[in-house]
Amino acid sequence: MRTHYMNSRSIKLLILFLLIASLIISCIRPIYPLEMYMQHSATVVMIGFLFYVYMKNSLSNLSYVCVALVVLLHIIGARWIYSYTPYDQWFQSLFGFSLNDYLHPRRNGYDRFVHFMYGFLLVIPLKEIYKNWFKVPGKLTAHVAWLLILTTSLLYEVFEWILSIVLSPEQAEAYNGQQGDMWDPQKDMALAMLGAIIMVLLLKIRIKKKRPGEPGRE
C-alpha cells in the first residue's frame, strides 16, 4: 500500500513538472503578450489546484491526467490565443494531409475543440471529487458533474462578456476568439455539454458491460 501511494505521487509530480515546463516554454517570445498572460491567469489557478491534489494525493492518476490534459490544451491555446492555433499545420506534419480540406471550417476550430474536451475530460475527475470529497451518492455523481460543467461553461462565457465591455474591441476579440461568430458563446457551451454527455454515456455503457445482468452501479 505504501509503495502504491508513493508511485501514485511520483506520477502526479512528473505530470505537474511537465505542465509547469510547458507553461514556461509557452511564455518564451510571446506572440500576443497581453492576451497570453491574461489567458495564463487561468493556467496558474488550474496548476495550483493540481499542486494541491498532488500534496494530498486525493485523486486517482486517471482523474489527474484528465485535468492535466485540459490544462495542457489551455496552455497551447493561450500561446496562440486560441484563434490562431496552427492545429491544421501540425496535423499535416503528422499525417501528410490537411484536416481543413475535409472539414472546410469557416474559422479556426481549436477553441471549439477545447470546449468539447473540457466537458469530455472533466466528467471523470468531477465524479471522483463529488464521491470521495463530498460523499455524494455514486448514482448522482455523473449528474452533478454534468451540471457543474454546464455551470462553469456558462460562467466563463459571462466572464468573457464582461471582458468585452471592459477591454477595447480589439483586445476583447483577441481574448474571446469569437472570430466574427455572434453565436460563439452558445456554441462553446453546447460543445462542453455534448462532450460531458458523451463521456457520461460511455461510462454508463462501461459499467453495464462490466456487470452483465446487474443494475448499473457507480
Domain ranges of the chain: 2-210
pLDDT score, position 174: 65
Q: Which of 1-10, 82-91, 144-153 has the lowest mean pLDDT?
A: 1-10
For the chain, give me the number of helices (H) and strands (E)?
9, 0
Q: Using the predicted structure, report yes or no on whether residue 145 has a pLDDT greater than 80.
A: yes
pLDDT digits (tens, 9 = 90+) for 176-217: 666 767 788 899 999 999 999 999 999 999 877 776 655 544
Arithmetic mean of pLDDT, 28-34: 91
- Cα separation, 82 vs 75, in Å, equals 10
Mean pLDDT over all residues of the chain? 89
Q: Which three cell numbers stand for residue 152?
A: 462553469
**Is pLDDT larger for residue 171 or for residue 157?**
157
Question: Residue 2: pLDDT above 70?
Answer: no
Contact status, residue 39 vs residue 77, Cβ threshold 8 Å: yes
**What pTM was computed for the model?**
0.88
d(CA 81, CA 88): 16
Integer Cα distance of 161 and 56 in angstroms: 36
Sole residue written with cell 474536451: 117
Per-residue model confidence (pLDDT) at position 113: 95
Q: Residue 161 — pLDDT band, cuts 50, 70, 90?
A: confident
At residue 102, the pLDDT reads 75
39/176 Cα distance (integer angstroms): 10
Average pLDDT over residues 131-143: 95
- Taking Cα atoms as reference points, which of 28, 145, 57 lies closest to residue 15? 57
Q: For position 165, what pLDDT does the model report?
A: 80
pLDDT value of residue 160: 83
Percentage of residues of the chain with pLDDT beyond 70: 87
Cβ partners under 8 Å of residue 139, min gap 6: 217, 218
Find the mean pLDDT for residues 141-153. Answer: 97
Of 71 and 31, the structure prediction assigns the larger pLDDT to 71
Give dist(CA 191, CA 119) in Å, integer: 8
As a whole number, mean pLDDT of residues 84-97 equals 91
Question: What does 138-162 look like in DSSP terms, one character per residue?
Answer: HHHHHHHHHHHHHHHHHHHHHHHHH
| Single-letter amino acid, residue 22 | S
At residue 85, the pLDDT reads 93
**Percentage of residues in the chain with pLDDT exceeding 90?**
64
